[in-house]
Structure 1
Amino acid sequence: MTLSPSPLEETSEARATASPLTRIGEARWILLTALLAAGSAVFAYQVPVTAAVAAMAALTFAAAFVPRRSASRRVKFNAQREVRRMWPGTGMKVTVDALPTPCFVADGRGIIRYVNTQAQTLYSGVKPGSPLSFFLRAPSLLEAFDRVCATGGTERINWTERVPTETWYEAHIAPIYMPGSDARDRPHGLPDFILVVIQDLTENRRLERTRTDFVANASHELRTPLASLTGFIETIQGAAKNDPEAQDRFLSIMLDQARRMRRLIDDILSLSRIELKAHVRPENKLDLTDIVRHTSDALSPLAAEMKVEIRMDMPEKPVEVKGDRDELIQVAENLVENALKYGGSGKYVDLSLAEQRGADGGRLWVLSVRDYGEGIPREHLPRLTERFYRVDTDSSRAMKGTGLGLAIVKHIVTRHRGRLDIESEPGEGATFKVTLPAIQEPADVSGPSTA
């Protein structure tokens, strides 16, 4: 990048190209002093006039033509310091590049002097020499930038952007004063540089909102059975104190409510345990066929009660994946139980395992659970895995659902580096597909065969 010469550099060049008469004029007081000294020497010490004239001539020649090296070096040093103040040095650039967040280094006028790689990735087209306001257009951020320039303090501000999606950002703005710089050399007293660090808070805000919603929903779900238990206990202690028939009926309802609370607490604890180890991928080798058959056998009494037939389509060879057996059994049981409860009107639930190839050529296993019930309206599909989300609240509670089953399934599948897909059309049932990476055999390392 080409830089225009600073005022100090222009002064240095002007002095280097000044005429002899101009230089003699600048040194006039030195020459006048030397002339008086020469005159005194002639009259007081009888120094020959020719010698005095020769000395004055030599001194005048030196003033007119010999460069002033000390002044030139000082001007050059000042010019270099001015350039360093205008553009960040290598040390500052290396430091900014090492930061994991987008960073801008601007001067006091709001002109970008350097940006790190993260900022270039987030803000396309950003480059040194452009105004900061071209890329960071939040009014609160620009106002904070002006305050830092004026006061020399630091600022921390937050703002939200709505387009294309809702995102939250935080900016830390601080002045930078270069070592050895003089406030008198800065235009209008501005800092040498302003550092702007951008932090994306979107994920943290969404997690915070999720936790808040979860606590509110869990409290609401627990409050209902607790209110029922309290009411029935008070009734048994009061009006139904001597009514054995009413007591038996109320105790049966109380038992159902207590079981509902236990299921809810178990699901909350299960979800919490899964979240704690979400970043740890399971490494145990297991066969999905055994898990599906185990699930079918475990839920056969419920299927018989609902008058639904479970049909299975399993491959003959082992379906090997890396996973946690208990968690994958929980996935299969939740999906099959939902199919039996909410799609049992179709009289059949199909379980199948099929092999697929991923986009990178790797082998995948897909577990499909399909029912032939009423189906799910399309507008509900994106939210089915949200905690406590129900398509029909009354139906879900009547089926003793907690509203956490599919949320647990999603978290387990994510931990196994898999994917959960839901397909449904009203009147045509619903299909839940869990895709898990297969254990790659040596022949799979180079991808699928082209033969």
Structure 2
Amino acid sequence: MEQPAAKPWTGIALAILACAALAIMGEKPWFALAILLIWIGSLWLKFDEPPSMETASGEAGLTRDTMAELIEHSGTPLLLTRRDRVTIANRAARDVLGPHILGQDVRIALRHPEAIALAEHDEPASATVYNLARRRDVWLVSRKPFNGDYAVIDLTDQSAGANVGRAHTDFVANASHELRTPLASIIGYVETLIDEPGDESLRARFHQTILREAKRLQQLVDDLLSLSRVEAGEHDLPSEHIDLAPLVLLAARDAAGPARADRIDFALEDATIQGDVPQLEQAVRNVVDNALKYGADDGRVRISLTSEGEAAELTVADQGDGIAPDHLPHLTRRFYRVDPGRSRASGGTGLGLALVKHIVERHRGRLDIASEHGAGTTVTIRLPIARGDNSASHDTVTQL
């Protein structure tokens, strides 16, 4: 172990003792005093020099390079500025703002009025900045000055929370609109019947319209409740082992009903998965109903189930007009409709594929939708094959 450095007063005391000894021995006192002053001066210069880049324990001091290395792999974007010029930017900051920011004026690096204004503060300050790096992102930018010329700037990404809040607001607005539409129709027809009874044929037609809108309202409420239940349990993998082929057969026939059952062709293989029976039945019904509803009026719908490797693959293909490519990425959004008028006329709620997506995700599966304009649409659901017995844990399936 290294010994601690001697205190300067130890050397001074030794110098005084040496001079006293010289004086006692008869040497010239002025000569001894001169030696003492030179010794004290050398000690002053020694201990007043700037700190070494090496600490007393021999470890490296905190240099610009070591500071850059310390923060390089931090997940938070960090900048160090000197006189408002970026001297250090870690990898996260370079990913957000670009690698060119090193050496630039911080005002050019941040490129946003609210963030730039932080450089004018002599005290720590922060600001919420929108669209800093990309459209609709949200960042909390904080600046902490120190030691006069220096400042540390950190960026906290708040986009996820903002997106959740925005999605919640959009969902409430869309749900309110969808609920209001059938309610307005029901109220309007009932008021008309009260004010103007009319003839029996007119009353019968109004009653049919009221019944249709009431069922549509009921379906919308049921879908909203189902979506809420699926979302609440989407992190819990069902543990029940299910033979998928009979479930698909029953749910598809239920969706078709007697009037459309002859339009479906089945090709089903055996496959066992871990799942929630009511939810899987609902997913199959929604997909098959969409294929029958939006496919060609007399077109066939082919439902196939195969089992290869670690996945069971269910495909539902129709012979309809297909869907334009720009609509495909949005089909699983809540209340999204390719043709709003046709969807509402056929009783659709705009929640069917959103519900399917959440059910598939809860089962650690994958949903794909492929379509060619004029050649029909194919929906593919891939679900992990179950392994082990019914007491198997969540590790018995592989997420696809």
Question: What's the TM-score, normalizing by structure 2?
Answer: 0.76
Letter in 2 for 1:207: V
Superimposed CA distance per residue, residues 8-52 of structure 1 (whole angstroms, 9 cap, x where no aligned partner): xxxxxxxxxxxxxxxxxxxxxxxxxxxxxxxxxxxxxxxx9xx7x
Q: In structure 2, what is the Cα distance between the partners aligned to 1:143 and 1:122?
A: 16
Structure 1 residues 159 and 84: CA distance shift in structure 2, 3 A = farther
Q: Is the 8 A contact 1:156 1:171 kept in 2?
A: yes
- The corresponding residue for 1:372 is 319
Alpha-carbon distance, 1:368 to partner:
0.2
Pair 1:395-2:347 in alignment: no
Taking the aligned partners of 2:226 and 2:250, their CA distance within structure 1 comes to: 20
The amino acid across from 1:154 in the alignment is A
The CA distance in 1 between the partners of 2:109 and 2:308, in whole Å, is 45
Q: Find the aligned partners of 1:58 and 1:339 in 2 and give their Cα distance.
A: 109
Distance apart, 1:369 and its partner CA: 0.4
The structure that has the greater radius of gyration is 1
Q: What is the identity, as a one-letter code, of the residue corresponding to 2:241?
A: K
Contact 2:320–2:374 under 8 Å retained in 1: yes
Query: For 1:110 and 1:162, how far apart are their aligned partners in 2?
Result: 19
Output the amino acid matched with 2:177: H
Query: Is the CA contact 2:256–2:289 (under 8 Å) kept in the aligned structure 1?
Result: no
Q: Which residue of 2 aligns with 1:322?
A: 274
1:334 to 282, 286, 309: 286
**Which residue in 2 is equivalent to 1:311?**
265
Identity %: 31
The answer to whether the Cα contact below 8 Å between 1:144 and 1:173 also exists between their aligned partners in 2 is no
Q: Deviations over 1:212-244 (max 9, x none)?
A: 33222222222221211221222222121x755
In structure 2, the gaps of 5 or more residues are 1-22, 390-395
Between the aligned partners of 2:51 and 2:325, the Cα distance in structure 1 is 72
Alignment partners' CA distance in 2, 1:147 and 1:245: 77
1:172, 1:197 within 8 Å by CA — same for their partners in 2? Answer: yes
- Seen in structure 2, the aligned counterparts of structure 1 residues 310 and 235 have a Cα distance that, compared at 3 Å, is same
Contact 1:159–1:168 under 8 Å retained in 2 = yes
Distance 1:113 1:396 in 2: 55
2:124 is matched with 153
Q: Once the two structures are superposed, what CA deviation does each residue of 1:162-199 show, in whole Å capped at 9, x if it has no partner?
A: 66xx351413324265xxxxxxxx4xx34xx5332222
Aligned-residue offset at 1:130: 4.9
Q: Are the equivalent residues in 2 in contact too, given 1:112–1:132 (CA < 8 A)?
A: no
Q: For residue 35 of structure 2, what is the aligned residue in structure 1? A: 61
Q: Which letter does structure 2 place at the counterpart of 1:348?
A: R
2:178 counterpart of 1:203? no
1:136-159 CA distances to partner (integer Å, 9 max, x unpaired)? 4333365244224xx123122313
Unaligned runs of 5+ in 1: 1-47, 178-185, 358-362
Decide whether the 8 Å contact of 2:369 with 2:379 is kept in 1.
yes
Secondary structure of 1:198 counterpart: strand
Shift of 1:313: 0.7
Change (3 A) 1:131 1:356: farther
Residue identity in the other structure for 2:161: N
* Structure 2 counterpart of 1:101: 76
Q: Structure 1 residues 133 and 355, CA, compared in 2 at 3 Å: closer, same or farther?
A: farther
- CA contact under 8 A between 2:241 and 2:275: conserved in structure 1? yes
- Confirm whether residue 284 of structure 1 aligns to residue 231 of structure 2: no
- Distance in 2, Cα, partners of 1:79 & 1:73: 15
For 2:89 and 2:43, locate their aligned partners in 1 and report how far apart those are by CA, in whole Å.
Answer: 35
Which 10-residue stretch deviates more, 403-412 or 211-220? 211-220
Q: Which whole-Å CA distance do the structure 2 matches of 1:331 and 1:69 have between them?
A: 85
TM-score, with structure 1 as normaliser: 0.69
SS at match of 1:382: helix
Q: CA RMSD in A?
A: 3.9
Residue type of the alignment partner of 2:47: R
Alignment of 1:168 with 2:140, yes or no, is: no
Distance (whole Å) between structure 1 residues aligned to residue 201 and residue 367 of structure 2: 48
Q: Deviations over 1:410-435 (max 9, x none)?
A: 12112222221112223322111111
Per the alignment, in what secondary structure is the counterpart of residue 222 of structure 2? Answer: helix
Report the AA paired with residue 144 of structure 2.
P
Q: Provide the secondary structure at the position in 1 that maps to 2:171.
A: helix
